Amino acid sequence: MSRAFVDGPVYTRKVRLVDPKTVLAIHAHPDDVEFQCAGTLALLARSGHRIVIATMSPGDCGSATLPADEIAAVRRTEAAAAAKLIGAEYHCLEFRDLAIFEDLTSRRRVTEFLRSISPDLIFAPPAEDYLCDHEITHRLVRDACFAAPVPNYRTHHWEPSPPMAHIPHLYLVDALEGLGRDGKRHGVDLYVDVTDVFAVKREMLACHASQRDWLLKHHGIDEYLNGQEEASHKRGEEIGVRHAEGFRIYRGHAYPHDDLLMALLPGHVMYKS
């Protein structure tokens, strides 16, 4: 794998935009973002926007051999390294695996985090996915988007961030392997052609060596990187390009309905005809 993607000027923020946006990709565990929207983030980073990647947990259940605290430390480092490849920040909200619940404390924590970043556009998990942490993260982020601009909604943080100016644009990423719980294709609204940044998407996922090695040992094949490529390729086939990522725009009442992503990435966003 070429290291040119690490140090080269292509994927770091060299472009000065008149109106740079802040884009937050938040998902449950380290590596989820790399599977579902890292190509789109690489394109946005290349265009000069500020990119923030966040995970709800540090992936503390992601090892059969290391104790929770040790694997969590490893995976925070891996996630930060992946983010760095595109000049992105990385944050962990420090929930724990299989312990993400929709309750008042969690909603306040996620709302406070959104206010601290103040994103224009958010990528979040879909409503339906194979894992409870993904689905609860969807609900917490979706509702924190609504709460973040509400001045009287207090987060009880010791140093609270100001309310956001408005509800951010909310895009829901694909389900794992592009499949719903019924095994059928997960529905997406729009596609981003990530063919010309697929190499950096792959390299970002490869930063998660603890997970890749575990699967390699367990399955005897590089299922981790192969799975990412297969899913991107399948979405690409649906619009006639080599690699794509699929999304849905969340259009609940009061959420922005226009396609900001289309405006930010002209020529890369496509709808299936």
Of 6-14, 27-35, 36-44, 85-93, the segment contacting Zn ion by CB under 5 A is 27-35
What span, in angstroms and rounded, lies between the C-alpha atoms of 19 and 60? Answer: 38
Of 29-37, 41-49, 81-89, 235-243, the segment contacting Zn ion by CB under 5 A is 29-37
What span, in angstroms and rounded, lies between the C-alpha atoms of 27 and 53? Answer: 8
Shortest Å, Cβ 205 to Zn ion: 13
What span, in angstroms and rounded, lies between the C-alpha atoms of 218 and 111? Answer: 38
Cβ(141)–Cβ(25) below 8 Å: no
Interaction of residue 28 with Zn ion, rule CB under 5 A: yes
Of 23-31, 111-119, 145-153, 231-239, the segment contacting Zn ion by CB under 5 A is 23-31
What span, in angstroms and rounded, lies between the C-alpha atoms of 269 and 242? Answer: 14
Of 22-30, 187-195, 218-226, 242-250, the segment contacting Zn ion by CB under 5 A is 22-30
Interaction of residue 129 with Zn ion, rule CB under 5 A: no
| 245: its two tokens | 């990522």
**Residues that contact Zn ion, how many (by CB under 5 A):** 3
Strand, coil or helix: 24:
strand
**DSSP state string for 49-111:** -EEEEEESS--TT--SSS-HHHHHHHHHHHHHHHHHTTT-EEEE----TT----SHHHHHHHH
Looking at beta carbons, which residue is closest to Zn ion? 29
Q: Rank residues 21 and 27 by Cβ distance to Zn ion and give the closer one.
A: 27
Shortest Å, Cβ 100 to Zn ion: 10
Strand, coil or helix: 175:
coil
Calculate the alpha carbon distances from 237 to 125, 233, 234 in Å. 22, 6, 5
Q: Rank residues 26 and 145 by Cβ distance to Zn ion and give the closer one.
A: 26
| 103: its two tokens | 């309750």
Residue of 13, 21, 29, 201 interacting with Zn ion (CB under 5 A): 29
Q: Rank residues 35 and 113 by Cβ distance to Zn ion and give the closer one.
A: 35
Pick from 55, 68, 88, 49: nearest CA to 201: 88
Shortest Å, Cβ 28 to Zn ion: 4
Burial class (CB in 10 A: 0-12, 13-18, 19+), 161: middle
Number of residues that this document lists for the chain: 273
Interaction of residue 243 with Zn ion, rule CB under 5 A: no
Shortest Å, Cβ 134 to Zn ion: 6
Interaction of residue 135 with Zn ion, rule CB under 5 A: no
Shortest Å, Cβ 60 to Zn ion: 12
Shortest Å, Cβ 176 to Zn ion: 7
Q: Rank residues 5 and 35 by Cβ distance to Zn ion and give the closer one.
A: 35
Shortest Å, Cβ 47 to Zn ion: 27
Interaction of residue 32 with Zn ion, rule CB under 5 A: yes
Of 25-33, 73-81, 161-169, 243-251, the segment contacting Zn ion by CB under 5 A is 25-33
Sites of contact with Zn ion (CB under 5 A): 28-29, 32
